[in-house]
Amino acid sequence: MRTVVTGGAGFLGSHLCDRLLAENWEVLALDNLITGVDSNIAHLMKHPKFRIARADVSNYIDVAGPIDYVLHFASPASPVDYLKLPIPTMKVGALGTHNALGLTLAKKAKFLLASTSESYGDPEISPQHEEYWGHVNPVGPRGVYDEAKRYAEAMTMAYHRFHGADTRIVRIFNTYGPRMRLNDGRALPNFVHQALTGQPLTVYGDGKQTRSFCYVSDLIDGICRLMQSDEHLPVNLGNPQEITILEFAEHVRKHFENAPAIVFEPLPQDDPKRRCPDISKAKRILKWEPKVGLEEGLGLTLAYFKQEFAKGKVAAR
């Protein structure tokens, strides 16, 4: 099997490359490295079945030879990144998805879109199920990411219905693990960066907004199961264990000898108040649910960050 992974040098993309190579796939990663980093895939560079090409998939994609699967993971994914890169974020969701689907058709391949829980916006129901259409501010600062992903979902379904493309859509809820970029605007890397550099942990609002955190190995397993399924409509993947951001900050503090203080800042515009997946569909059709508990996953992730920080690698990012 041969697959193209767009965004293959990113956090999730690199872990997906690892999993596919472990299952004896041939992998071509495409990445323009505006948010991905070479170090995420450095350990794969000598693998005989791995290759990476510097490419912006918002432009035309040309890949020689047969392809069995196109996995579209290219996109800025953190608030810091997509607020700094609003136009590239919109382009990769629109043009990048169009180009990836065009490659899929040309190669008679299968396609999987990495969508997001942000498709639900600031939801009016919780937990969020796949039939919920969402509550999104299209002209707010987060709209560049939310609407890019919603458009990408619509484009994917259009290719499926009009061209008969064999497509899948995963809506990814908050995922964490090694290779996240410190201080990227998401809760865990921000907390860890602040703790490692001797700063207090910043909690926005009163900290009662909720998230649910899925360890990366669980998410990748769910994605691989979805790849092998016949489901074409979106499927939620995430951990349904809901926790407040303030409680999460306290969990992180416990992993540091000199536990940092917590400070409060105003809540950013359109920041979701609740985020929790209904994974009934994934349980039913994929026989999937997360296995790694929060304390186990945090231990693995913080050990990675502390090691990288000690080497000076994290600061270089």
Active site residues: 145
| SS3 assignment for 107-171 | HCCEEEEEEEHHHHECCCCCCECCCCCCECCCCCCCHHHHHHHHHHHHHHHHHHHHHCCEEEEEE
Nearest residue to 42 via CA among 83, 34, 33: 33
- Sign, Cα dihedral of 288, 172, 264, 36: positive
Helices (H), 197-286: 216-227, 245-253, 280-286
Strands of 2-6's sheet, edge to edge? 50-54, 26-31, 2-6, 69-72, 110-116, 166-172, 235-237
**CA–CA distance, 191 with 242 (Å, rounded to integer):** 18
**CA–CA distance, 263 with 59 (Å, rounded to integer):** 43
**CA–CA distance, 188 with 186 (Å, rounded to integer):** 6
